[in-house]
Amino acid sequence: MRIVMIGSGYVGLVSGTCFSDFGHDVVCVDNNAAKIEELRAGRVPIFEPGLDDLLARNTAAGRLAFSTDLAGAVAEADAVFIAVGTPTRRGDGHADLTFVYAAAREIARHLSGYTVVVTKSTVPVGTNREVGRIIAEVAPEADVDIASNPEFLREGAAIEDFMRPDRVVCGTASPRAQAVLNEIYRPLNLRETPVLFTDVESAEMIKYAANAFLATKITFINEIADLCEKTGADVQQVAKGIGLDGRIGPKFLHPGPGYGGSCFPKDTAALAQTGRQHAAPVRIVETVMEVNAARKRAMVERIMLAMDDRVAGRRIGVLGVTFKPNTDDMRDAPALTIVPALIGAGAEVRVCDPEGRKEGEALLPGVIWEADPYAAAAEADALVLLTEWNAFRALDLVRLKAAMHGDVLVDLRNVYRPAEARAAGFAYSSIGRR
């Protein structure tokens, strides 16, 4: 199959590269000429484990190319995927569909022969219908079908998620489009991956409902963690106990400083807005958003309490600022709430993150960046573990404590055992544990 991917950001680049590894001919198109030149040179602009090797292999094999020429690419395509950004729109919380609709207009001008236009961007219900209307308006004679194919990629594990997904969701009313999508995803048949075909609106809703449910699980266990602290229960034992129930499952039951990233914040906001527009408010999701925002602020108070509310003029080391490990993504990361609040309270903050500095330097002005965790801890009055990178999971606690001026360790990811932290000399604080 000849596939065009409009947009070479996270979703477009990972999806296009993986499609080419399936054996399809893929052209990733982007209007950012500098990015395209970087990709042609084999330099990947985002950090995603394994993506650089996969890109190099398929580029060398001639199955993957990068271009700014949308017209030439679309004219030869069997399927054109829209994978542009849908950020939260200022003012109302809805998804900004400007880039999606602009892509639809550009695609319509260059269609040639039967083509399936597939929206992979996360979009509210009704968006694909509007994409179809735009294309019909611009190119009324075009032989085209519209489909929705939402992505379910976890940053840091995106290639595995694409190659071995739990399911593939395709929304279309056209048997011809279904045949094309079946052919595109045919390599997954060998692994017996479920490919679910639905109507377009259901496919759009599946994406939002899935992310909102996961965000709800995170927020639920965070509130249970607070209750555990008040009652003497251990949230890790509680999470294990309820996660063994097959109806619940263990994933996303890890307490922490709140969710962030490119998906959950904007998708919960968009789903809540859709509910309000249709007079069917999604009150659980609205509450999840409120609790998650409060959670990040509460983590600042937790750190200050651990330091006896004496933060001004003191040094704090922070381990990890990306919203999760194995990514350089800082979007809506808890660090963007916590670190500025500590600086605003007068603290000197030293940060170590394996991949966060590239984005973090602009987003976290005033911090001092260190190359390793022991340097971040040097002469610190307190140390905060904020992102659970593997590099922070087996630190020498005795050496860490010896490097510090103070003894406070605030572990917001429950990486360490309380007894071993205290044995190393720390005044240790974690989430939902005694």
Among all residues, which ones are annotated catalytic?
263
Asked whether the beta carbons of 415 and 385 are under 8 A apart, the reply is yes
Phi/psi at 224 (5° precision) = -65, -35
Asked whether the beta carbons of 387 and 321 are under 8 A apart, the reply is yes
Q: Helix 335-344 and helix 283-306: axis angle, to 10°?
A: 40
Task: Classify strands 115-119 and 144-148 as parallel, antiparallel or unpaired.
Answer: parallel
Q: Tokens representing 111?
A: 């269609």
Residue showing tokens 């350089």: 328
Angstrom CA distances, 245 to 232, 239, 367, stand at 23, 10, 43
Map residue 2 onto helix, strand or coil: strand
Beta carbons within 10 angstroms of residue 312's beta carbon: 9
Mention every residue, 6+ apart, whose C-beta is less than 8 A from residue 373: 317, 319, 352, 391, 392, 395, 400
Task: Classify strands 168-171 and 195-198 as parallel, antiparallel or unpaired.
Answer: parallel
Q: Partners of 25 in the beta sheet?
A: 2
**Sign of the alpha-carbon dihedral angle for 27, 31, 37, 39:** negative
